[in-house]
Every structure is written in C-alpha cells, then in structure tokens.
C-alpha cells in the first residue's frame, strides 16, 4: 500500500538546517544528509551504472560526475511523438520526502459559539457611551 501523505523536504534552502533523528542513534542536519546522499549517488551509483551499461558503450559519466546532479549532462532524446531527436540535458534529481505520523492541524481562532463576533464590539461601544 502506497502512502500518499509524503511531502518533499526543501533540503537546499528552507529546511537545510532542520535536524533529523533516526531513533536517537544519529542526528544530523537535513542539508548534511542531502549532501552526503547526493555524493553517494553521484559516485557509487554512477560507477555501478557505468559497469552495468559498459557493454553498450562509454557513458559520459566520468568527465564530471556532479554534472549529473547540478548542470545536467548534454544528450539527445528520441520520443515516441514522432518529432525526431531533441537535444538538451538530463539531470538526476534527489529529493527527501517526509510523511508525519499525525497530520498537522491548522490552528484557528477559538470562537465561542454562543457569542456573536459582534458582541465584543457592542461591549466596547457600550463602555464608551
């Protein structure tokens, strides 16, 4: 069963200094986790990808591995729409997602249901008069 409550965490800017804990065994900033995750994916995974696809030719993986994560690698794509080859870049995007165990409840002002919102205004007017 898929959990659709996951939301992307902005590890680059907004949540960079937020802290994550894994059962108190380790605590680190989300930005640090993302940096290490990207480095691992960039080096380890691209090495494995190169090995697995080496029988097809040389991938442009080792000129600058970080291009895959930052600028993108120049390539051409042939789509099934019949429009031919299209030049561009391809990039790997790494994201972290979080699904809270309990949904966040938006706080709203507490209003006394027996009292009209105008009652406070009426009291103020009566005090002045």
Complete DSSP assignment for 87-120? EEEE-----EEE--SS----------TTS-TTHH
- Whether the pLDDT of residue 128 is over 80: the answer is no
Cβ atoms of residues 46 and 67 within 8 Å: no
Kindly state whether residue 110 falls inside one of the protein's structural domains: no
Summarised one tens digit per residue, pLDDT across range 28-70 is 888 898 888 888 887 888 888 888 888 887 776 656 777 888 8
Count how many residues are written for the chain.
129
Task: Return the higher-pLDDT residue of 3 and 11.
Answer: 11
Kindly state whether residue 66 falls inside one of the protein's structural domains: yes
Kindly state whether residue 56 falls inside one of the protein's structural domains: yes
**Separation between Cα atoms, residue 128 and residue 52, nearest integer Å:** 83
Per DSSP, 38 falls in state H
Domain count for the chain: 1
Kindly state whether residue 1 falls inside one of the protein's structural domains: no
State which residues form the domain around 90: 7-103
Kindly state whether residue 70 falls inside one of the protein's structural domains: yes
- Residue 87: per-residue pLDDT: 93
């Amino acid at each position: 069963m898929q959990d659709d409550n996951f939301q992307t965490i902005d590890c680059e800017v907004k949540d960079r200094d937020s802290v994550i804990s894994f059962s108190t065994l380790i605590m680190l900033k989300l930005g640090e986790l993302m940096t290490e995750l990207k480095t691992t994916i960039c080096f380890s995974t691209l090495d494995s990808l190169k090995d697995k696809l080496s029988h097809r030719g040389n991938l442009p993986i080792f000129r600058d591995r970080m291009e895959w994560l930052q600028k993108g690698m120049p390539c051409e794509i042939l789509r099934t729409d019949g429009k031919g080859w299209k030049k561009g870049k391809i990039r790997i995007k790494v994201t972290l997602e979080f699904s809270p165990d309990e949904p966040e409840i938006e706080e709203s002002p507490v209003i006394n249901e027996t009292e009209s919102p105008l009652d406070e205004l009426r009291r103020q007017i009566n005090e002045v008069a």
